[in-house]
Amino acid sequence: MKSITRQDLERRKAQAERFARDVLDDDDLASEIEGESLEEYAEHRRIALVNPKGARKMAVPTRSELLERIDELETENTDLQDRLDQISDLSAAEDEGEGEEEEEEAESQGEERPRRRNVARAGVNPRRR
Contact 1, 47 (CB under 8 A): yes
Tell me the whole-structure pTM to 2 decimals.
Answer: 0.38
User: Residue 77 domain-assigned?
Assistant: no
Domain region containing 20: 2-49
Tell me if 121 is assigned to some domain: no
Evaluate whether residue 118 is within a structural domain: no
Please give the Cα distance from 11 to 16 (Å, whole number).
9
Q: Number of helices (H) and strands (E) in the chain: give both, helices first.
A: 4, 2
Structural domains of the chain, count: 1
List the chain pLDDT tens, one digit each, 129 residues.
677 777 887 888 888 888 888 888 888 888 888 888 888 888 878 888 776 565 566 778 899 999 999 999 999 999 999 999 999 998 888 777 665 666 666 666 665 555 555 555 555 555 554
